[in-house]
Amino acid sequence: MTIHPEHPFTAAAGDRDPVRRWRGRMPAPVSIWTTHAEPRPVGWTVSSFLLADGEPAEVVGLVDEDADLADALAASGHFAVSLLGWSHRALADVFAALAPAPGGMFTVGSWADTAWGPVLADGAGWLGVRVPEQQPEHAGWALLVRGVVEHVEVGELPGTGVLSSFRGRYGTSGGTNLGS
């Protein structure tokens, strides 16, 4: 077996999608979106999202249409958004279906149940969100999910900052000297 510095499944440079490469150069916070579903809650890692301040505040994100979360959002009418820290890297991979989780994804990490869905007990904060009546529409290959923020919990900012994604790798944004 030979170890190479590049990822073995990365497309050759000339075959890479330029839009995807450009998007990869945009640092993005990493979150987990969850909701109640039968027979158990579901969740998905989302880094393509933003929080729009206002009356009411809204959260907008791109969710893989094949994720269990996409179907469950319309049925439940609500979801929770947990913001992750550096220590949650493996958890982000589990919820992105990139790493195994024997017993289910919610056996990894410590979770608290809320009216909107499970939230990460030691996350950097979480939002409780109501899904409006309209169905999500497509934005590129993903579903554009939009929700009204009904509840906000600002957690303790980890000393390492929040988990971020940049060029397909995890890093952090923020840190101990940025305040809350």
CATH code at 165?
Answer: 2.30.110.10
Q: What's the total number of domains in the chain?
A: 1
User: Would you state the pLDDT for residue 161?
Assistant: 85
pLDDT at 178: 45
pLDDT in tens, 7-20: 555 666 677 678 87
* More confidently predicted of 172 and 37: 37
- What is the average pLDDT score of the chain? 88
Contact of 149 with 57, CB cutoff 8 Å: yes
Tell whether 16 is covered by a domain.
no
pLDDT at residue 69, rounded to an integer:
94
Residue 37 lies in a domain: yes
72: containing domain: 22-169
Strand pairing class (125-130; 137-139): unpaired
For residue 177, being part of any structural domain is answered with no
pLDDT at position 177 is: 45
Mean pLDDT of 32-58: 96
pLDDT digits (tens, 9 = 90+) for 137-168: 899 889 999 999 999 999 888 888 899 988 88
Integer Cα distance of 149 and 54 in angstroms = 10
- 89 pLDDT above the threshold of 60: yes
Does residue 142 belong to any structural domain of this protein?
Answer: yes
